[in-house]
Homo-oligomer: A and B are copies of this chain.
Amino acid sequence: MTEKKRIYKPTPISGFPEWLPEERLVEQKWFDHIRRVFESYGFCSIETPSVEALDAITAKGEVDKEIYVIDRLHKEEGDKEARLALHFDQTVPMARYVAQHFSDLVFPFKRYQMQRVWRGERPQMGRMREFYQCDIDVIHVDNLPISFDAEVAAVMYEVLEGLNIGRVQLRISNRKLISSILDVYIGGSIIDFAQRKTAALNTIDKIEKIGESEVSRKLVDECGFQADMVSRLLEIIRIKFRNADQLNRLFDITSQKLAVNSTFMEGFSELKTVMEGLSHLPEDAVVADLSIVRGLDYYTGTVYETQLLDVPEFTGSVCSGGRYDDLAGSFINKHLPGVGISIGFSRLFDVMRQSRPDLLGIGPKSPAHIMMVLPSEDKRALAHDTARTLRNRGYNVEVYHAPQKIGKQMEYASKKLIPYVWFPPFEDGKPHEVKNMTTGEQSTADPDNWSI
C-alpha cells in the first residue's frame, strides 16, 4: 500500500517524559486542583519566559545546577546576541520578574507559578531533565509578617491533601533553632567557623538518609563537636512536636540540655506562631521537626519539607521551601524578604502514575462525557444538533464520525471509556435514548433536561 521510504523511528528522549492521553487527563486534573487552591487564597499567576539571560541566572554567583543554553542552529558568524539559558527553577525568574516590574506590582505580592524547568542532567542518571514545578511565594518590601509562613504551608497541605496520594505530613522547623545551637558549640578556630557550620547543617539535613549514628559520627569527627553535646542535640532533634502546645516543651528541654541564646528564642517564637497558624489542620498533618534544615544557605527562618506517609515508593520530600531574607538583592536595590514552597510536580506524578495508577484513576482516554451515535447519514444534522444542545448545557460530547454498525460505534466509546452513549431517534417521532456504559442501563432521555 504505502511505498518504501526512509523512516526515522522515534524513541523516547531520556529525562524528557511525556504521557499518554489517559495519563495527561489526570495530570490536567492535578493542575486544575492545584491552581484552584492557590487562587482560593488570592495567589495570582505569573509566567516567565522559558529562558533568562545567562548573566541574570548567574548574577548571584555560579549555579551548581546543570544549565541548558540555547543557540540558533544556523547562527551566523558575528551574530552578537546575549546568551540565553533555560531556567532551572522558578525562583531566579521570579526574583528577576519582581525586580523588573517592581513599580507595577502590589505588595505583599502573592504569586503562583506552574511551569516547566530544565536541568542538564546526564541522561544515565535517570533524572528528569524537563519537569513541572508548582510554586507559591509571598514577597514583601522590608518586612514580611510571619503569618504568611503559616499560610503557604496551609495552602500546600490543602493542595496535597486533595491529590489523593494518601496521608501527607508537613515537617516544619526554623533554621534559627539549630543554627543558634551550632553557633554556641562550634569548636576549633574561628577561621573554619562558616565552613564547619555549613557542613554540620548539611549533615543534619541527611538524617533520614544516613541515620542518626552516622550523623553523630560526622558531627564529631568532621565538624569538631563534642560527643556529649551531639548526643544531647540528637535527643532534641528526635522529638516531633505535633502542635503549638507540645512545642512549649521544646524550649524547656533544650534549655535544660544546651545553652540557648536570643536567636534560638526568636526562632522558637516564630515556629510557635507558625504551628498556631496551622492548628486548624488535622492531627498528624503537621509536625515541628528540628531535623529539617534544608540544604540551601538561602533560607533564613522557617523551613518546610513534606512526606508521603502511604507511598514508600516516593523517597524524600515532595514539597519543600522556606523563608528567605533577600529575594532579589542581585537585581534591585530593595530589601525583599519572602517565603515560599514548591512542589516537584512531575516526579510526584510520575511516581504515582507508575506505583499507584489505581489511586490516580487513570482510565478514560477522552474528556468526552457522551458519545453521540450517528444512526445514518441523513440523521447527521440531528446528531450534531443534539450534541450542540448538550454542549450548551456543559457536557463534552463527541459525535461518532460515520454511520457504521452500532456495535462498532459502541466499541469506540468503550475503548475510550466514554461513560455515556447517546442514541438520537433512529426514526422520526421516537424518543432519544442514553446508555450508561458503567451500569449498562439504557433509558429514554430529553437533551434539554437530561443530566448525569
What residues of chain A have their CB less than 8 Å away from a CB belonging to chain B? 1-2, 5-13, 16-21, 24-25, 27-28, 39-56, 59, 66-75, 79, 81-82, 84-86, 96-97, 99-101, 104-106, 108, 110-111, 116, 118, 120, 122-123, 130, 145, 147-148, 151, 277, 280, 329-335, 365-368, 371, 380, 384-385, 388, 391, 395-399, 401-402, 412, 415-416, 418
Contacts and interface: CB of A to CB of B under 8 A. Distances in A.
B148 A365 contact: no
A147 B380 contact: yes
Contacts of A110: 366, 398
Nearest to A121: B72
- Copies per complex of this chain: 2
A69 B59 contact: no
Contacts of A335: 1-2
Contacts of A399: 151
A6 B60 CA distance: 9
Given A40-B397, A56-B10, A145-B401, A68 B66 contact: no
7 contacts: A2-B334, A5-B329, A8-B331, A9-B99, A9-B332, A18-B46, A18-B48
Contact of A367 (B39, B48, B85, B396): B39
Contacts of A380: 147
Contacts of A332: 7, 9
A33 to B, nearest CB: 13
A389 to B, nearest CB: 12
A5 B41 contact: no
Contacts of A11: 100
Contacts of A416: 106
A255 B99 CA distance: 66
A50 B116 contact: yes
B2 A329 contact: yes
A44 B398 CA distance: 11
A224 to B, nearest CB: 31
Given A20-B104, A44-B25, A66 B74 contact: yes
Contacts of A13: 49, 51-53, 82, 84
A92 to B, nearest CB: 10
Contact of A396 (B9, B40, B45, B100): B40
A249 B203 CA distance: 83
A106 to B, nearest CB: 5
Contact of A330 (B6, B40, B67): B6
A68 B73 contact: yes
A68 B71 contact: yes
A385 B71 CA distance: 52
Nearest to A385: B280
Given A2-B334, A69-B73, A366 B42 contact: yes
Contacts of A123: 81
Contact of A44 (B8, B73, B79, B367): B367
B46 A24 contact: yes
A21 B365 CA distance: 34
When A and B form their complex, which 10 residue pairs have the shortest distance between CB atoms, in order from nearest? A42-B398, A72-B120, A16-B49, A42-B368, A8-B59, A39-B367, A21-B44, A67-B73, A68-B70, A10-B100
B86 A70 contact: yes
A71 B39 CA distance: 36
A361 B100 CA distance: 24
Most chain B CB inside 10 Å of its own CB: which residue of A19, A367, A391? A367
B72 A41 contact: no
Given A84-B13, A120-B73, A398-B110, A331 B42 contact: no
